[in-house]
Structure 1
């Protein structure tokens, strides 16, 4: 019977009346949605900690002016800032930066909802001298004033609560820690204590790193200009500024330290070589001087030039090869002793002017490049990582190749030395006729000259590097220093308000749209006409009636000239055009609350006021209401008569108003359907038709039960009631079912509770014209 009742109705038509009704009923709720989101945005901004950001811009510019003067390659600057960026991001440098700040103790103020880190803005400052218990790190220690106006600290340690009296600007020492509490303005401190809950915590490096390092951002600003952006975010603007500046300063200091350390190692290596050559030079010089003094050979004639030149040339080359052979061993030793040190690149000065310079230079430079790459990676990964392991394998392979090259060069040099020694031996054999003293003198001079030559050459290299190192200056610049930013970057008030406002509007519009498309209420006769599809008669409309009574009341007799009375007179006139000979009028609706009892009472009263004898029959046996509308008791009625518990005369309430009798529903029976469908009811109605001009039947709602369907079918005029802004549009389907399935030929529709401005039919009284489906264009009822 009511299968259509649960179907979801979707409104697909554009109707301004529906829009007006939806706005009228839901506009306040839509505004509440927008206001709710406005309140949410306010609460979000009110109870969200602000985030402040400070930024610092630095420029990397390490220029080797000495290398430019000497036309040497600048090994300190390769034009890449990736190494510097990784160093700035590293935990090592951030830890160095934190050491520059006073963060041994953090100060907090706990409000009703938020906790604020005060940093240097705290009204009291705690200086930590000594902490004996590491477990006290990160433990809140509350600072307050008790009822006796004494300053106290309170903390819980290992399940025990400690409360100790402290004094401002005095040291406080106990078994756990030694601190000093100071305050510059005690009056402001007292107000702060009254407004907030103050406490402090001791910080260790690990907790500070874990809490602060994640808010640091390092990004290249311009790779070509080698500019880097250092950014830090914090809930405290001063802390953000100080950390930003501390990171930049720590980077500059560490960069200078690395350069100084590298320079010292290179100069130390060169000085060691010079010391070794200097000793050789002194020995050769002393030997030559001693020999000349002992043998008195200062005035020796020149030895034959060609033989002497040959010997000198061979010996010079031999000595040079021996030195190269010795240097090869030294290079091999340095590489094998420190296979992972980037200082291998500092061996390049030893290769200068060596015969094997080209053979080893590229290999050592390649090795240095990978060692430097390894050192850079260690800023971000551990030595056990896969990347470092693979790189170590490549470095080991390069070292092995380098050793093979050196071994080959050693073998080649040794062969050449053997060859030259044989050549020198052969040349000397030609001097057997030359006195041994002349030969010895020549040998000593050659050794002296050779030592002086190499000492001078290495000293020149030392001077050249010293000039290069002196000319190397760190031109790192601060392009933009971190400033105190008192305007929070988060949350953005405008963005938050705008976003929440738009969300509120969208949700409110979505809500109104949903109410519109799901709007399933009848508003006026125009809606009823459209839904009836010209298949049923429209009797008219009844204006909305304000009433304090919870039940339908008989009211038209009290004010016969009211809009309501005029509306019912119009309905009465339309009924005459539908069926002038009608005796029975059955009134029903889809559900309770649509006003069928109200219409039955007042329509019967209007008919009675016109001089007709009228009786109302209350057949809504489950929820009878007619007796309430006319202030009667319900002791005897239809159910009692049909059950043959009383006579008809005992059931009739005479002259409720002149010409109007009422038969109430009577006792509520256990079997209302059987009583309504019994032959006794038919006989009762036929009997009443002989006594009255009109018999009005208040049917049960046929949208809920089917008891009254047959009565609608048998009535001379069946009336179906709808209520404006209450009845659902899909209820019309039930009426169509009655017409098609139950073969009720002429169903007459009446719209109750119409607001006057919504009435499209009538002259302002709230009632309208009625017409049949077949007579819509050609016939009109009485106005």
Structure 2
């Protein structure tokens, strides 16, 4: 059962929705047609945008080594972080700025067409190169060019030469993509601030990882010119790879510089020792070191070499510690790691350098608060104490080894003391020479290794797919544009209907009446387009006539019959059609053969006499209430129907409300009860005066007229409140003047947003008016 109720609600909602907006189908059709035409023009004028894609494989050169495992356990160089870092580097403004400079994107050449402007990147005969000091900016500089010259205005400039122009120092170079242009092509170039071009590129470049576990990076870029898009992506990859090589070369160069400085120092020491040895032999003559001295030299030389290596390592560690504590490795020289045997320390220092380079680049381009820059700073703060701790541990180990070697050398001193003085001094000199010579050899080996690494620095990343542009544009998409146009047209249509009907302060729908008051709506009367006040007659079968017949039948709902015959008709304000309804309802009742009295009780603004085409100067209700005439003298027979009698207002009184309250109104109604089957009373609106509340207690039913598009909603809201204070007897609402909805529609504003009576009558107004004209 619940399911059936739910289905019924859905069906009612669908029906209500359809009937509410269906009358406006011509409006929706016009809006859709206009929107489709607009979409067609947009597609005609819009410049298509294409997407260029490339893929590269980012290699982790340390992956699989013991040091990389250590760093991964510290969460310092996880594969995901490496990929994320490289993705940010690729789309950094630093690299994009290099792309702009290399491809001269700050001076784009464009083709001016009839409806739009398109890039002439591949079709222009020239490219424009600006001097690095040129700060001029210009929007459009029209030119013509051939293979030798460029003409701007009245000035002619040679190709492939730096020339001074009103727009700065420029060089017009041949375009490698140039093909013969169609005649009358209008070309111009612009000079744009490179920063603005970089910002534009940054918004259109997208760098993503192929998936979470992959080291493949996808680079996509959108541009109106496919050739330019491919060049930009390829150049971006080229600049990115160059930056990697530059970083490696910087590290190798700094290491080589450190070794060169050490070699120079050790070389000077060797020269001094040789001079010292020669001077000693010259003074003492040839001295032969015996077997015991040679044994001492052999044992001590080995230890001395180890001590020299330890001193070199300690020197490197001191330099690393100083650089790390300085908190800006990127701003100075990368510390040399020559002689350091710990790969984890080497990798951590390299990572720290890379992180600080990237963080500094981001700070310059995006500011301190960039989320990625903050992430880099967090990683730097995490890796720096790890490096310092590693340095301290290694220093302690090296110093312990150095102390052990020094102790061993002391044990050899006893052997040296047994030698003659001359031999002992020569052994000391030879020992010092051997120590420096070994250190010099060690440094030479390290220098060679560094030079080899410098020469062998190659790109570690592999290009999987070069830049390639799809055949179909990604924007604008025809389907999307047309669907969006239709959607916008429909939304505009709904907006017009809602604005016209729902958001108005006047009553538009029967449903609104039912939501605002508890009084039932017992009838709908369509708007009468003709000027005829009487719309019902014998054998008349128009829609509005049938609506009055239905209203006549519905009076049974209010208990109107043989004993209860008095019907009061009022409204909220003037102009809602209460007199129109009263006249036609009275005629409808008279057509059934019943005696009907129609009273014009509106003592403020009577109008029934004119609607019935009856003389209004006849004595009437005013004179009876004043006691100057008997009731039988005010009743008049109408020519409309033999069963319909009319009582006019009479002379308008100065005090209508007080006159109605004198008690004679009830006497009149009691008198009429004996003569008529129905008494229909037209009385003044309840908004301005209270006459209806005075007469209503003497009546059996009250019809409250509400006019479509005319009665303010606020009056409907007050009905229930007013009824609690001054009750209208057995009140019900008649929805009058319901006009057709939409454009050329037959749908109305009644319940369910349409009439739906289904009478099937086809008589037109001209046929029905014959009766009216004959009955006047």
Task: Report the TM-score, using the length of structure 2 for normalisation.
Answer: 0.62
1:639·1:668 contact (CA, 8 Å) conserved in 2? no
1:55·1:229 contact (CA, 8 Å) conserved in 2? yes
Question: Could you say which residue in structure 1 is the equivalent of 2:53?
Answer: 55
Shift of 1:63: 5.6
Question: Where does 1:84-103 land on structure 2 (aligned, <5 Å)?
Answer: 84-103=86-105
Question: Where does 1:486-501 land on structure 2 (aligned, <5 Å)?
Answer: 487-489=472-474, 494=479
Question: Could you say which residue in structure 2 is the equivalent of 1:656?
Answer: 639
Shift of 1:477: 1.2
Distance 1:712 1:466 in 2: 114
Shift of 1:419: 3.5
Question: Could you say which residue in structure 2 is the equivalent of 1:484?
Answer: 469
Distance 1:335 1:605, change over 3 A: closer
Question: Where does 1:633-652 land on structure 2 (aligned, <5 Å)?
Answer: 633-638=615-620, 641-642=623-624
1:95·1:205 contact (CA, 8 Å) conserved in 2? yes
Correspondent of 1:621 among 574, 592, 603: 603
Distance 1:319 1:736 in 2: 112
Q: Classify the secondary structure of the residue corresponding to 2:469.
A: coil
2:581 maps to 1:596: yes
Correspondent of 2:239 among 244, 250, 255: 250
Distance 1:759 1:699, change over 3 A: same
Distance 1:90 1:498 in 2: 37
Distance 1:220 1:17, change over 3 A: closer
Distance 1:220 1:468, change over 3 A: same
Shift of 1:585: 4.9
Question: Could you say which residue in structure 1 is the equivalent of 2:128?
Answer: 127
2:301 maps to 1:316: yes
Distance 1:447 1:267 in 2: 26
2:682 maps to 1:699: yes
Distance 1:256 1:569 in 2: 94
Shift of 1:426: 0.5
Distance 1:666 1:565, change over 3 A: farther
Decide which structure has the larger Cα Rg and report it: 1
Question: Could you say which residue in structure 1 is the equivalent of 2:219?
Answer: 230
Q: Classify the secondary structure of the residue corresponding to 1:254.
A: helix
2:346 maps to 1:348: no
Q: How many residues align?
A: 681
Shift of 1:248: 0.5
Distance 1:363 1:562 in 2: 101
Shift of 1:101: 0.9
Question: Where does 1:289-304 land on structure 2 (aligned, <5 Å)?
Answer: none
Question: Where does 1:316-465 land on structure 2 (aligned, <5 Å)?
Answer: 316-317=301-302, 319-320=304-305, 323-324=308-309, 327=312, 331=316, 346-349=336-339, 370-371=352-353, 373-381=355-363, 387=377, 412=403, 419=410, 422-423=413-414, 425-429=416-420
1:528-568 Cα distance to aligned partner (Å, 9 max, x none): xx9879xxxx9xx89x78854345317526x5799959986
Q: Classify the secondary structure of the residue corresponding to 1:55.
A: strand
Distance 1:701 1:400, change over 3 A: same
2:230 maps to 1:241: yes
2:226·2:469 contact (CA, 8 Å) conserved in 1? yes
1:31·1:508 contact (CA, 8 Å) conserved in 2? no
1:323-375 Cα distance to aligned partner (Å, 9 max, x none): 458747865886689676587764433x6xxxxx79xx987776666555544
Question: Could you say which residue in structure 2 is the equivalent of 1:213?
Answer: 202
Shift of 1:627: 2.0
Q: Classify the secondary structure of the residue corresponding to 1:87.
A: helix
Question: Could you say which residue in structure 2 is the equivalent of 1:632?
Answer: 614
Distance 1:308 1:186 in 2: 90
Shift of 1:479: 0.9
- CA-based RMSD: 6.8
